[in-house]
Amino acid sequence: MPDFQAYLKSIPHHFKPESEKLLKRVFEFSQEAHKGQKRKSGEDYFEHEKAASVILGQIFPDPPTLAATLMHDVPEDTSTPLEKIEEEFGAEIAGLIDGVTQLGHVRMKSSQDKFYVENLRKLFIATSKDARVILIKLADRLHNMRTIQYISPEKQIKVAKETLEIYAPIAGRLGIAAWKDELEDLSFKIVYPKEFEETKKILEDELEKRTENLKIMQKSLEHTLRTEGVKFIEVKGRVKRVHSLYNKLKKYHGDVSKIFDVIALRIITRSTGDCYAALGAIHKHHQPVPGRIKDYISTPKPNGYQSLHTSVFCKNGMIFEIQIRTDLMHDEAERGIAAHWFYSEQEKQDRLRPLQSNWIKELRAWEEAADSPEEFLESLKIDFFKDRIFVFTPKGDIKDLPMGASIIDFAFAVHTDLGYHMMGAKINGKMASIYDELKKGDMIEIIKVKKPAVISRDWLKAAVTHNARNRIRHYLKEHEKGLFDRIKELKLQDLSLPRFFRKK
């Protein structure tokens, strides 16, 4: 089958004979099931499933997941039931398809829609149970966004807004930069066309100004690294995406001159040691911009991103951001959670590692503890979609918290017992209020007492993380319950009180 061979060649992976045989059977099965069906574009419907599977295969060539992607619309859009798929291809593949089908019922019309929160909850429950389901959904959504021009303008806006608000951030939290960036730009162009064109024009103008300097700086860096004997694979340029630039411009009130990474240079090495050696060599020959050095290797971002960032002055005074990472770090930055899926071939393991990330683990535990849909949505906005900061314990342990977190959030993040016994705190060695907001890089020391602290509702106002708010609510509920029980007892004892007042 020529089509199948072309499909296999489009995925950069060498499949075992049994996996290739499985995918061929699935390919033919799905093609037959969709026979005669057309998309809005006029092409065969099966082309969508094939394209989604190819998108997924670029970052995650797992045969059962690719098989499920090739058939993900079969139960919903053809006369072939899920039971038939399970009978033909097994429970694992059928289970993944069923998960994607359930996600297909999730509709995000707007945050004002009465079913919005519950549908969002369903989506994240599915994510926490098996991340492969959300990977299939993201690949499906990315292909739909690439071909969105074939549906009505009204539907385009609805799909693009949902993508921008929900699916692109999920791709970001899973560390899949390649998908996140493309989903954002494709959606941004449809939802905010005026802002997209304005930002695109700014980007084009900046590229025209900076491209020649970029080539000069690239050669200079290569010369520096060779002179200092630093091993590297390549030095290449990276242009900022339109949506990303738009967000940066908002931060700097539209002043593009304050954005140093419109074009960045990326140095790829083979080892972590070479990354730090490259950083030292660059600073020896190029003046660094004070306060612009970021070490995401020793303190990775919450989605696992690792790299060294620095900004240096070019000879003509222009500033360039330089990112330094290993080839493995670069692969993980593009593929995120999917890059951790396979054991290396040297380990010769037949079993796959569970698809996990800290975010998935947190999501599972947090979902179990959520009390109401409203609390779920509020915590989701803060804990999972907000920018993050890194702070430190006195021992140097790193705590990852959402921006806006207070000392109260920090204490409960370290240990529940520490939160319940906190009477004060120090930030960077100075006394501080437990309600104070934390900043990136702060070192926090909690002052603890033996007896449990008296927790008030003011704590609830200062806490932003789900974990801290949940613990505080639990404390208040228990103590308020005791108080009301006592009042109830007193009322039962004093039933004669009204008669007493009447006699007086």
- The verdict on residue 409 lying in a domain is yes
Largest CA distance in the chain: 103
- 86-122 burial, b at 16+ Cβ within 10 Å, e below that, comes to beebeeebbbbbbbbbebeebebeeeeeeebbebbbe
Instruction: Give every strand in the sheet of 444-448, ordered side by side.
Output: 430-432, 422-427, 444-448
* Final residue of a structural domain among 341, 367, 394: 341
Give the per-residue pLDDT at 500. Answer: 40
Residue 289 CA: distances (Å) to CA of 236, 406, 443: 21, 30, 24
User: Same domain, yes or no, for 82 and 130?
Assistant: yes
* pTM: predicted TM-score of the whole model, two decimal places: 0.75
Total structural domains in the chain?
3
Q: Which of 341, 360, 378 lies at the terminal end of a domain, its last residue?
A: 341
Contact 404, 437 (CB under 8 A): yes
Could you give the CA distance from residue 229 to residue 224 in angstroms, rounded to a whole number?
A: 9
| Per-residue pLDDT tens digits of the chain, which is 504 residues long | 458 999 999 998 889 999 999 999 999 999 999 999 999 888 999 999 999 999 999 999 999 999 999 999 999 999 999 999 999 999 999 999 988 887 776 655 555 555 555 666 666 666 666 788 889 999 999 999 999 999 999 999 989 998 988 889 888 888 889 999 999 999 999 999 999 999 999 999 998 888 888 889 999 999 999 999 999 999 999 899 999 999 999 988 889 988 888 889 999 999 999 999 999 999 999 999 988 899 999 888 777 789 999 999 987 778 889 999 999 999 888 888 777 654 333 343 443 444 555 556 665 555 555 555 555 556 655 555 566 777 888 887 778 788 889 999 999 988 888 999 998 999 999 999 999 999 887 899 999 888 888 888 899 889 988 788 888 888 888 776 555 555 555 555 554 444 444 444
Same domain, 470 and 449: yes
Residues 32 and 178 in one domain: yes
Q: Which structural domain range is residue 453 located in?
A: 386-492
Question: Which pLDDT does position 174 carry in this prediction?
Answer: 82
The burial of 472, by beta-carbon neighbours within 10 Å (0-12 exposed, 13-18 middle, 19 or more buried), is given as buried
- Within this chain, do residues 56 and 133 fall inside the same structural domain, yes or no? yes
HSE (CB half, 13 Å, CA atoms) of 140? 23
Let me know whether 282 and 404 are in one domain: no
CATH of the domain at 471: 3.10.20.30
Q: Which residues are catalytic?
A: 76-77
E runs forming strands in 127-196 = none
Which amino acid appears at position 35 of this protein?
K
Q: Which of 341, 375, 406 is the last residue of a domain?
A: 341
* Whether residues 169 and 199 fall in one domain: no
């001159």: which residue's tokens? 257
Residue 142 and residue 114 share a domain:
yes
CATH code, 56: 1.10.3210.10
Q: Are residues 173 and 284 in the same domain?
A: no
CB atoms within 10 A of CB 1: 10
